Structure formats: C-alpha cells, structure tokens
Chain A
Amino acid sequence: MSLKWIHIAWLTAQSFVYHYPLFMSYLWMMGAALFYLRYERDDPPFTEPRKLADPPPVSILIPCFNEGAHAEETVRHALALDYPDFEVITINDGSRDDTGAILDALVPKYPRLRVVHLARNQGKALALRAGALLARHEILLCIDGDALLDPHSAHWLVRHFVENPDVAAVTGNPRIRNRSTLLGRVQVGEFSSIVGMIKRAQRTFGALFTVSGVITAFRKSAVHQVGYWSPNMLTEDIDITWLLQRAGWDVRFEPRALVWILMPETLRGLWKQRLRWATGGAQVLRKNVGVILSPTQNHLWPMLFEAVLSFLWSYLMLAVVVWWLLGLVLPAHTLPTTRSPLIPNWGSALLGGTCLLQFAFSKWLDSHYDRGLGRNYFWMVWYPLVFWLITTAATIVGYPKAYLIGKGQRARWTSPDRGAHLKVDRKKAAAKAEDTGHG
C-alpha cells in the first residue's frame, strides 16, 4: 500500500516538474497582456512623456565601487537627463581604483554633480543609505555605476509618485547593451521575456517580487520609514521591495523608464551573478516567510506561494535527474523507470515551444523601447536548454548557501565581468602598450 502511494507521489512530482513551468509561462503571458491593455497601450511613445504640471525635484544616486572604467560615461548620461530640476550624487564606496579621483575631477565641470566618498568600503546598501541621507530631494532615482540612464526616464518614473502618495518605489526597464556573444544575446531576450514579462504580470496581480536594483526611483520618506536598504542582504533590491510592500506601500513597474546596462558574457560571470540572485532571493524568502501568518499581508501571499513552488520545482527537478541517473547505473527494474528530464523529447518540445512563444510575445512588447529584438530571436533557442539549467542549479546551490550565511554578516559584492568587448579592448590596449613601451 505504502509503495503504491510512493509511486503516486513520484508520478505527481514528475507531472509537476513538467507542467509547472508550462502553466506559469502562460500565466505570465496573460498577466503581461492585461498589463499592456491596462497601463501601456494608451500612453505616448517613451521618447515623448507627458510633462508633469509641477514636477518635483529628483536626486539621482549612483553608488560606485571600482567603476573607473565606466564612472564618467554613467555620470554624463545621468546629467543629460531631460528633467527640469535634479542633482546627481555619485557615491564612491571606498573604491580601490581611480573612481574617486575621476569623480572629483568631474565636479568642477558639472554644477549639478556632487560626490560622496565613503572612507571605507561598506557595500551597496550602506552606500545608498549615505546617498539618501545627503540627497536634497524627496524622490531618489537609484542606478548602478555602469548603467546609462535614458533621458526621458525620470518623467516616466516620477509621474507615479505625483499620481499617488502611497507609491514608494517605481522600477524601470533595464535593456542590455552588450550583444557580442551567445550569452549576451540570450540575456537580451531573457530580460524581456523573463524580467519584463514577470514584472508586468506581477503588477497586474498586485505586488512585485523585486524592483531592479539597476533602476528604481524611491520615495525617500518611505525608505526612511522601513529602515533603508539592508546591509546584510546579498540582493538589497529584493529586500527593500518586500520591506516597502509589507509596510503597505505600493511598488510599481514602469516599462518606459529605460536604463542601458552591461551584463556578464562569460559562463563564470553569469554563474556568479545568478548564484548571488538565488542566494539573495532565498535570504529574503527566509526573512519574509512569516507574512503567511498575517492576514493583513494577504497581498504578498500569492508571490510567496509562487516563490515556494519555484524552490520546490528546482529540488524536484534535481530529484528527477538523480532518479534517472540511478536508473541508468542500477540493475533493471530496481527503480521505476523515468524519462530523462535533460534529454529533450517531444513533450519538452512543447515546453520549449511555449518558452519561445513567450519570447516572441515579450519581444513584441519590448520592441516599443528596444529596436532590433527580432534579430535576436535566433539565439533564444538556447534559453530553455542551458539557461534554465543554470538558473535551476543556482537555486539548488543558493538556498542552502543562504542558510549557511550568518544573519548578521555584511553582504559585499563586486560586479561580474561586463562583456566580451571589454576583454577584447583590454587585450588590444595591452598589445598597444607593449608596442609603444608603456606596458
């Protein structure tokens, strides 16, 4: 009898492994379609935002750690913002390279620019906290040290704060700049179909799992009320999103607020980044699992439920793979047979097909903001095969890692590689320096 139940449970688990991503993919597409109809369709093009009658001033915060290669370009783009009243505050988080000197040299050239140096490296969360304290304005627009802000983004973000005093944060739409390698090109599609689509759907369903740390505008008073970004979280952006929503604030997504970012183009860099995201997500889940006992936090329950199911899915996927591998080495009929979840068959072709349909839909959605996405579609066939495995593996490793990291341990991290073009350029520069004797 018990063997029968074990068998039924095993079949259910296998069915869940197959059907869960399929179901979620269609749910995200429906949610994103509803978002488009409700919030996106009737607005003017992103380059022509409706001007606000009385736009509140904005402080742009740019935390930088060892960003010597990008700091000036980032600052120049931030200063080119098409907005009536703003200041740019760069926060040099105790960089060991020439970031501090580069930023100081820019101050006399640009009246709107201010520089905050942290005497010692403290991590992004505390750098943002220092920037918020010294910001003159109530709206903080936070971007990363290598992110290039679109000139119209502030208008799109700020309108939400003007419309509704309950809005504490509005996150924008990161677009990937480096598209040289296979990994870079797959991530372009991923940011539309996974990041952009899920944020659209989550907004339709009432709450966001996370803002994008690379572009989010915050209401300073709200951030102050919830105690700022936590220095102990590997993903301070997920943490602040939950803190604000738990306090009853509204967090929104604005697809027209663009920022151009660099992503890793090596497997090592990608793994490092995904592991940090998974570990940070697990830390936040652990911290917030208690909302399930609070009826006033019911708006966060569906998101918590989805996070738990995703976690469960990753481990069941691992179990199915292990079971299949054992079945290959053990004598026949020792274990009930199971198909390989890794070697594609026509069932997984449907899953892959759904994934490609999701890409096609998201590319259409984001083609309003990022041209040439269609050309990128050729590369997306890799996503269901390789990226899913990387993400699943990162979740499997990240969750126990989150428990091993002490609760009070300070989270410090450096960005992974920023694309193959920099490596190529560095090689060329080194060769040139050797030729000219400046090596």
Chain B
Amino acid sequence: MADDLIINARRKLGWRRRILSDVTTFLLWVTWLYLWMPVWRKLRHVIHIKLRLEPAAVEVLQTVDPISLKRSLVALVGTCALLMLWTLLPKRQVTHAHAITTLDDYASAFNLPAETISASRHSRITTVHCDDEGAIIGLDRRG
C-alpha cells in the first residue's frame, strides 16, 4: 500500500532543475569528504608508522575533537542515566483516570441542552454555530 501512496513526480520537473539538484548534492558530498582530509592524513600517517590500534585511534580522534573521548562518553552516559532515574521521581498523577465524562457533563460545560447534543451525535450532517469568542451556541441537524 505504501508504495502506491508515495508521490515521486521528479520526472515531471524540468531537466535543468533535476540536474542542478543532482550536481549540487554530489558536489556537497565531495566537499564534505574533503573536509575530513586532516583526519585521513593522520590516519595514513599512523598506519605508515605502524602504531598500535588504541593510541592510533586516540590520535585520530584528537584531531577531530580536542575534548577527550572518555569525558564525552561519561557525560553522555551520565546524562542518559540521570534522565532515566529522573522518571522515577514522584510526580503529579492524574486523578479519576477511570471516570468517563457523561453527556450531562458535556451539556453543562458547553451550556447546551443534553438532548440537542445527543440528537446531533446521531445526525449525519450537523451545522455548528459559534459566537465571536468561538463558544458553541447552536447545533442544526440536517440528516
């Protein structure tokens, strides 16, 4: 079913527009990969001098971000754990969750006769009239 719902009208767009978006997206990928050149160079260097994997990885990551990886991980896992523990704190619970609002409750809240609401709920077409504040002031049944 999902395949029928997806709209891909790309071929209906002009060829100039299609080429422009394809080429600029490709160039953006090339630029983005180029930005990683310092990391690739460092990686090539540590491979060349046959450094052990762990110090090599640290060396490369230091190139990317000067903040220590260990500290970043502690902060991340710590925040995640703290947020999950936070959900265990006592908090406001809903009262009367089992109570269902009755027709009379609706009639009272909307200031409309319960019979009118009930009849409109069984009507196929209803017109709702509101005042300037948006409050419902009338229900007209048509079918």
A134 contacts B7, CB within 8 Å?
no
* Distance in angstroms between the alpha carbons of A117 and B72 in the assembled complex: 56
- Known contacts A182-B25, A371-B2; decide if A248 and B93 are in contact (CB<8 Å): yes
| Residues from chain A with Cβ under 8 Å of B35 in the complex | 344-346, 348-349, 352
* Distance in angstroms between the alpha carbons of A117 and B125 in the assembled complex: 8
B37 contacts A346, CB within 8 Å?
yes
What sequence of 0s and 1s flags, for each residue 90-131 of chain B, a beta carbon within 8 Å of any chain A beta carbon? 111111011111000110011000000100111111111110
| Contact of A350 with B by CB under 8 A | yes
What is the interface size of chain A, counting residues whose CB is below 8 A from a CB of the partner?
Answer: 86
**Among B67, B87, B123, B136, contact of A19 (Cβ-Cβ < 8 Å):** B67
A134 contacts B80, CB within 8 Å?
no
* Distance in angstroms between the alpha carbons of A133 and B123 in the assembled complex: 13
* Contact surface of B with A, Cβ cutoff 8 Å: 1-3, 5-10, 12-13, 17, 21, 25, 28-29, 31-32, 35-39, 64-65, 67, 72, 75-77, 79-80, 83-84, 86-87, 89-95, 97-101, 105-106, 109-110, 117, 120-130, 134, 136, 139, 143
B106 contacts A224, CB within 8 Å?
yes
5 contacts between A and B (CB under 8 A): A115-B126, A180-B12, A181-B13, A220-B101, A349-B35
* Distance in angstroms between the alpha carbons of A179 and B31 in the assembled complex: 25
- Known contacts A247-B92, A298-B91, A346-B39; decide if A424 and B25 are in contact (CB<8 Å): no
B130 contacts A31, CB within 8 Å?
no
| Residues from chain B with Cβ under 8 Å of A372 in the complex | 6
A104 contacts B125, CB within 8 Å?
yes
B136 contacts A133, CB within 8 Å?
yes
| Residues from chain B with Cβ under 8 Å of A222 in the complex | 94, 97
**Among A23, A136, A349, contact of B121 (Cβ-Cβ < 8 Å):** A136
B73 → A minimal CB distance (Å) = 9
| Contact of A148 with B by CB under 8 A | yes
| Residues from chain A with Cβ under 8 Å of B7 in the complex | 177-180, 262, 419, 421
| Residues from chain B with Cβ under 8 Å of A370 in the complex | 2
* Distance in angstroms between the alpha carbons of A267 and B65 in the assembled complex: 34
Binds B, one of A320-328, A374-382, A390-398: A374-382
- Known contacts A166-B94, A181-B21, A421-B7; decide if A224 and B13 are in contact (CB<8 Å): no
A122 → B minimal CB distance (Å) = 6
A165 contacts B128, CB within 8 Å?
no
B10 contacts A344, CB within 8 Å?
no
B99 → A minimal CB distance (Å) = 7
